[in-house]
Amino acid sequence: MKIAHNKSLKEFNTFGIEVFANAFITVTSESQLHKILLEKGQEELFILSGGSNMLLTKNIDALVLHMAIRGIAVKHESEDTVVVSAYAGENWHDFVQYCIEKNYGGLENLSLIPGYVGSAPIQNIGAYGVELKDTFVSCEAYEISTGKKRLFTNDDCKFGYRNSIFKNSIKGQYIITKVNFRLTKKNHKLNTSYGAIETALTNADITFPTIKDISEAVIQIRKSKLPDPAEIGNSGSFFKNPVVPLHHFSKIKKLYPSIPSYVVDKHTIKIPAGWLIQQIGFKGKRWGDAGIHEKQALVLVNYNQATGKEILEVAKKIQNKVKEEFGIHLETEVNII
Ligand code: EPU
């Protein structure tokens, strides 16, 4: 097994932050992973997937396992649906495109999300009215302490908004190796409710969209708002959209009548964090190489050589000011390491 030492992780995180790993292994098979888990002894592990939802603020003093197990297969098929399984190291967007080419519906709204398949369930990735949990059947994962494989069903995962059991009660205890999705082969349940998708389809003169049309609309919207990590380092939305009690929302609405919001339940309402950050005047601001994207205030960016600590400073400035102005705490969506 090839172990690299003092390995730069710059290429392995979409923020493009330069930190070093004490030791680094690229894991390409389940048997290799199993062996590492049985032999690791007291050595601490750090699981690295697509690196698209993390901010690295320090060197990693652990054995980094870069999860690169690949493969896609159809597990079951009926007349209407198909269960497709993808290994953790598959690139998420490539997997979505594979499904669209085969005319398997359900993931099209999740096009162009950076990262790998294996980390998608951890934060229940979501965009444009669809979440991973809507098509997720189960995933296989190895317990780090014992090396045993376990199957997690949709219910087991306790999915929520950018949340799952993997971020809570069993955080850091399992490594996801494979994810199974149930997708449609016909009568696709298209989700075009998101305003920007409707507009994109209308502009393209499309009345009866296919899943490919929706995927293309999503790609176009994302490209127009979100920076490409290959060009400007970033991790997508840096904060979660906060959910606040209705009475708190009413107070803000009196001062800002045009505030956008989404009702969650009878007592709470979700406010777009991007809007809050824009209101405090931070959209497009920059301190050295760390800044806030000019087209989407929820996205923090590394223009070139920013350190993780510098990006974190920007995040703290935002949190303090939003708290001061709106009395709302912005929780990070990105994992701070
Ligand atoms: N807004 C502003 N200013 C900004 C950004 C947004 O006023 O700078 C307002 C918009 O005008 C709109 C509202 O905020 O009224 C929502 O904006 P947008 O549609 O861009 O979505 P978002 O709530 O900022 C969420 C997800 C994204 C996902 C989009 C589309 C979270 C934390 N983020 O962003 O997910 O792509 O919806 O569904 O839920 C990610 O998780 O990394 C991510 C990019």
Residue-wise pLDDT tens digits, 150-163: 999 999 999 999 99
- Residue 144 in this model has a pLDDT that exceeds 80: yes
Choice among 187-201, 232-246, 278-292 with the minimum mean pLDDT: 187-201
Task: Establish whether 333 is a catalytic residue.
Answer: yes
**Was domain 233-336 assigned CATH 3.90.78.10?**
yes
Mean local confidence (pLDDT), 226-241? 96
Q: Look up the CATH architecture of domain 4-67.
A: 2-Layer Sandwich (3.30)
* 11 has pLDDT over 90: yes
Residue 1 scores a pLDDT above 80: no
Q: How far is the CA of 274 from the centre of ligand 1 (A)?
A: 6
CATH of domain 72-184: 3.30.465.10
Nearest CA to ligand 1 atom 43: 237
| Percent with pLDDT over 70 in the chain | 100
Ligand 1 centroid from CA 29, angstroms? 36
Q: How far is CA 112 from CA 23, 95, 134, in A?
A: 31, 10, 18
Q: Start-end ranges of CATH 3.30.43.10 in the chain? A: 4-67
Residue 193: pLDDT band with limits 50, 70, 90:
confident
CA-nearest residue for atom 33, ligand 1, is 237
| 180 contact partners, CB below 8 Å, separation of at least 6 | 75, 83, 84, 85, 136, 137, 138, 139
330, 242 contact by CB (below 8 A): yes
Are residues 108 and 218 in contact, defined by beta-carbon separation less than 8 angstroms?
A: yes
pLDDT reported for residue 42: 86
pLDDT of residue 227 exceeding 90:
yes
Q: What is the pLDDT of residue 294?
A: 96
Strand partners, 184: 81, 105
Pocket of ligand 1 (CB under 6 A): 127-128, 225, 236-237, 240-241, 260, 272, 274-275, 278, 283, 296-298, 333
Instruction: Give the rounded percent of residues in the chain with a pLDDT score beyond 90.
Output: 97
Protein residue with least CA distance to atom 2, ligand 1: 275
> In terms of Cα–Cα distance, which of 276, 296, 262, 298 is closest to 129?
262
pLDDT tens-digit map of 91-113: 999 999 999 999 999 999 999 99
Given the residues 90, 162, 216, 222, select the one marked as catalytic. Answer: 162
Ligand 1 atom at shortest distance from the alpha carbon of 293: 8
Residues of the chain with CATH 3.30.465.10: 72-184
- Angle CA 20–24–30, to nearest 5: 150
Mean pLDDT, residues 221-237 taken together: 96
Is residue 237 flagged as an active site residue?
yes
